[in-house]
Amino acid sequence: MRLLKELEQKTAMELGEELHRFAANLSLICRSITGDGLRQTLAAIQSRIPLEISEVPTGTQVFDWTVPKEWNIRDAYIKDASGKRIVDFQTCNLHVLNYSTPIHTTMSLRELWPRLFTIPERPEWIPYRTSYYQESWGFCLSHNQMQALVEGEYEVCIDSTLTQGHLTYGECYLAGRSTDEVLISCHICHPSLANDNLSGLTVATELAELLAGRDLRYSYRFLFIPGTIGAITWLSRNCENVRRIRHGLVLTGIGNESGFHYKKSRSGNAEIDKAMAQVLRDSGAAYELLEFSPYGYDERQYCSPGFNLPVGCLMRTVWGTFPEYHTSADNLDFIKPDRLAESLRVCASLVDVLENNRRYRNLSPYCEPQLGKRGLYRSTGDQAIEAEINARLWLLNLSDGEHSLLAIAERSGLSFEMIRDAAEVLRENGLLAPVSELGTNGSLDAAAGNIAEVTSRG
């Protein structure tokens, strides 16, 4: 499988516009960690990929947490004395403090004031604020809007419900030849924010669509879940299965203009970490590798010490470090079609690495085999050899059954693609044989798992 090559059939612009369109369709839905916004979002994803949707009742204990009441909202506004809606949920769903309890009353500006959230440094933007676990209500608005408020009475209405209900999440499982899993996780709990929400779920949906129905080495599990409580809920209901996860990736904030940031898993040395480093190096894009830290997205839960899963996180800009973060400026203009396309390609390239990262054995390990007689070498000795021949020499030299293709790419400085292509040519010529990866219970053997160790020895 060469997923990246397939994707390169389309231009980045074509691909990116498809992705952007899907994000745009979902941008007006008011999502939260529970409620109908989640269900609508999951339904849209389900229209494209096989998705199993779970509903977990309010009050369910999930480790140290409890599934909260379900929140839904129909309308919200602040009306001035003339009855004009001066803050209106219908124009922007960020206007309400997410998870606000219902209210309908009249109050003075002075009473209302403490319920208003703004960003004084960015007076035109509306902040995104939440209060999931402390019952409260409030409004978010631009600082300019707030400044314009005059003394007087205001009608305040939040037509929401906070009731016994469910937490909803979606799961797309694509069975491969092995029961070992690759986990792709993204959060779907933010309202209209584009980068910090839609970019991740859009790319994940497209990737799942691309993989569905294929013959895969690994099984793939895509999670579309509310952040934190969703990951905790899913983990609490999948404690046994979780050990099948061999590689995992949290996808978020991958639509804006910025180089990539990949935050490593807790061990910092997992195959996903090495694979992602290789993929980003090969991509030609700007990128930075970040050490693991316990703050961030749902890798916090996957990498908690009881699970310690090999899960990293792919972002462009890092949460909290760009001004648009958690504001109305994280909108559809903030995410760019070509960036979405590039992010998808990086994910496809990661799949290519994970699917193809085998170990081989040189069948002619004593001295070099004579490549020339097989047409795999140049004939008249001139000065330099091509990278293709170089890749063959590296593979023959390091294919002692211990080095994976990824380890060979890493050590040779060549791209994974070049190493994989060379492995194919050599295998076709009877010079390399893949090391068996038969395992018990449908699990791959140590082939993949040992890579970290082997590479560091190499």
The footprint of its own copies (CB under 8 A) covers 62-65, 117, 128-131, 133-134, 228, 231-232, 235-236, 239, 266, 293-295, 300-301, 303-308, 320, 325-326, 362, 364-370, 372-373, 379-385, 390, 393-394, 396-400, 412
Cβ closest to its own copies, residue 235 vs residue 351: 235
Which stretches of 215-370 are assigned E, i.e. beta strand? 219-225, 245-251, 260-263, 287-290, 311-315, 359-362
Cβ closest to its own copies, residue 50 vs residue 458: 458
Q: How far is the CB of 153 from its own copies (least distance, A)?
A: 26
Cβ closest to its own copies, residue 117 vs residue 220: 117
Cβ closest to its own copies, residue 140 vs residue 276: 140
CA distances from 95 to 53, 99, 270, 358, 370 (A): 29, 12, 42, 51, 71
Cβ closest to its own copies, residue 349 vs residue 412: 412
Cβ closest to its own copies, residue 110 vs residue 373: 373
Q: How far is the CB of 65 from its own copies (least distance, A)?
A: 5
Distance, in Å, from the CA atom of 299 to the CA atom of 276, rounded to the nearest integer, reads: 15
Q: How far is the CB of 49 from its own copies (least distance, A)?
A: 26
Determine contact, residues 190/197, Cβ cutoff 8 Å: yes
Q: Whole-angstrom distance between the N-terminal and C-terminal Cα of the chain?
A: 27
* Structure-token match 């994976």, residue found: 404
Q: How far is the CB of 176 from its own copies (least distance, A)?
A: 27
CB-based contacts of 232: which residues, under 8 Å, 6+ apart?
62, 63, 65, 301
Q: How far is the CB of 79 from its own copies (least distance, A)?
A: 25
Cβ closest to its own copies, residue 283 vs residue 304: 304
Closest residue by Cα to residue 56 from 233, 280, 177? 233
Say whether 187 sits in a helix, a strand or coil.
Answer: strand
Beta bridge partners of 404: 359
Distance, in Å, from the CA atom of 351 to the CA atom of 357, rounded to the nearest integer, reads: 10
Beta bridge partners of 247: 182
Distance, in Å, from the CA atom of 264 to the CA atom of 289, rounded to the nearest integer, reads: 7
Closest residue by Cα to residue 183 from 214, 225, 221? 221
Q: How far is the CB of 258 from its own copies (least distance, A)?
A: 17
Chain-centre distance of CA 105, in angstroms? 42
The tokens for 5 are: 């090559």
Cβ closest to its own copies, residue 15 vs residue 408: 408
The tokens for 331 are: 């909108």
Q: How far is the CB of 122 from its own copies (least distance, A)?
A: 12
Q: How far is the CB of 254 from its own copies (least distance, A)?
A: 20
The tokens for 278 are: 């290789």
Q: How far is the CB of 321 from its own copies (least distance, A)?
A: 9
Cβ closest to its own copies, residue 284 vs residue 295: 295
